[in-house]
Amino acid sequence: MPVPQNSTPSAATSGTHIAVENLQIHYGTVLAVRGVSFTVEQGEQLTLLGPSGCGKTTTLRAIAGLEKPTSGEIRIGGAPVYSSARKVNLPAENRGLSMVFQSYAIWPHMTVFENVAYGLRVRRESKAEIEAKVDRALDMVQMRPYRDRRASQLSGGQQQRVALARAFVFSPSVLLFDEPLSNLDAKLRGDMRIELRELQHRLGITSVYVTHDLEEALAMSDRIVVMRDGVIEQVGTPNEIYNLPRNAFVADFVGSANLISGRHRADLDTDGLVAIETAGGDIVYGSAYGRPIGDTATMSVRTVHFKFSTQRPAGERNVWPVKVDRMVFQGDFTQVHVTWSGQHLVIRCAALEPTEGAHDAFMSVDPRRVVLLEAEKAGA
């Protein structure tokens, strides 16, 4: 049922490129990363997504070699670059990767060329080699025409392109991105997302991308790792993360969702669907997607998946009368706030003329869009 969201085919070939195993990182007594494990495949774009303070930047910096973990292992191309057990901790410059930061950290008084050439000069590469490599990197980000311009005379987007060229110039095997677009305005950010994604695919370069921006993560990633409080909550494709969130945290963080809880009515389970009864006595049919269901259960429904109508729609299951509390016109869509079964829900409808005042209407939802969440672990 879930529909693929990214039409560009994955550039990933085969084999694990980066493996992070049971990574723990302390800052003093604070445990910022609590035993995180994931892999990044060759040519894959993997995104670490989560709210501020969840440990995504710390994890990225540990891969880069800028943060020393407390324990665990990180392998790049099969070789450990950090391992507490084997007492390995390779310096950042020997890990074969480049990093692009939120603040572009380019030198305003230098030209575009000098900015990109700087790292190669430090490595004492020949003049001819530097010229060729810098021009190739500038071509990749369409900045060759600005080669001799001072960085201070560039727009924010152009400066970020220079920062990208500076990362590409070393032909790294891995690119790490720490919120590289967050200083750009919304329009430019949208354009740069597409550009970056296409570039990453074209070059087939393995990358790890950190962001707290959901849209960015959904649009750019082959897979997403959702983090909270130093642990991983879910790993999956954008489609899986959005359509089959594991728990209430992911459902809520990854897009807007309504949560509906109730007791399992096994006697009403039918046609591969599971039924719950809400505290208000309404029966809701949903899909378990192979997940076990307990005596009580919580289901998640995206605000866009509810259907709203003033006439009772056809069908018996998952059709309910609702009281409309408020309709908020938001341009591309209208947000309808309703009271149903003793709780408040939000429905997002396209192109609906809002009506004033409270009134009665109907709400319905396809049971395949009502997703059973995993039971929360005790203490989670």
In angstroms, give the least distance from the CB of 170 to ligand ATP. Answer: 24
Between residues 57 and 237, which has the closer beta carbon with respect to ligand ATP?
57
In angstroms, give the least distance from the CB of 53 to ligand ATP. Answer: 4
Give the total of residues touching ligand ATP (CB under 6 A): 12
In angstroms, give the least distance from the CB of 123 to ligand ATP. Answer: 29
Between residues 226 and 260, which has the closer beta carbon with respect to ligand ATP?
226
Question: Cβ distance 190 to 213 under 8 Å?
Answer: no
User: Under 8 Å CB-to-CB from 260, ≥6 apart: which residues?
Assistant: 276, 278, 284, 298, 299, 300, 301, 341, 343, 345, 370
- Residues in 28-87 at the binding interface with ligand ATP, rule: CB under 6 A: 30, 32, 50, 52-58
In angstroms, give the least distance from the CB of 104 to ligand ATP. Answer: 17
Report residue 86 as tokens.
């084997």
Q: How far apart are alpha carbons 246 and 225 in whole angstroms? A: 12
Site string for ligand ATP, 4-33 (x = CB under 6 A): -----------------------x--x-x-
Ramachandran assignment for 33, one of left (phi > 0), alpha (psi -120 to 50 degrees), beta (any other): beta
In angstroms, give the least distance from the CB of 58 to ligand ATP. Answer: 3
- Residues in 317-336 at the binding interface with ligand ATP, rule: CB under 6 A: none
- What's the gap between Cα 110 and its chain centre? 34
Cα-flanking dihedrals φ and ψ of residue 279, to 5°? -60, -30
The CA distances from residue 374 to 195, 246, 263, 287, 371, in Å, are 36, 6, 14, 12, 10
Between residues 358 and 380, which has the closer beta carbon with respect to ligand ATP?
380
Site string for ligand ATP, 204-243 (x = CB under 6 A): --------x-------------------------------
SS3 track for 113-132: HHHHHHHHHHCCCCHHHHHH
Instruction: Output the residue with the shortest Cβ distance to ligand ATP.
Output: 57
In angstroms, give the least distance from the CB of 255 to ligand ATP. Answer: 19
Question: Cβ distance 36 to 232 under 8 Å?
Answer: yes
Task: Note whether 369 binds ligand ATP by CB under 6 A.
Answer: no
Where along the sequence are the contacts to ligand ATP (CB under 6 A)? 27, 30, 32, 50, 52-58, 212
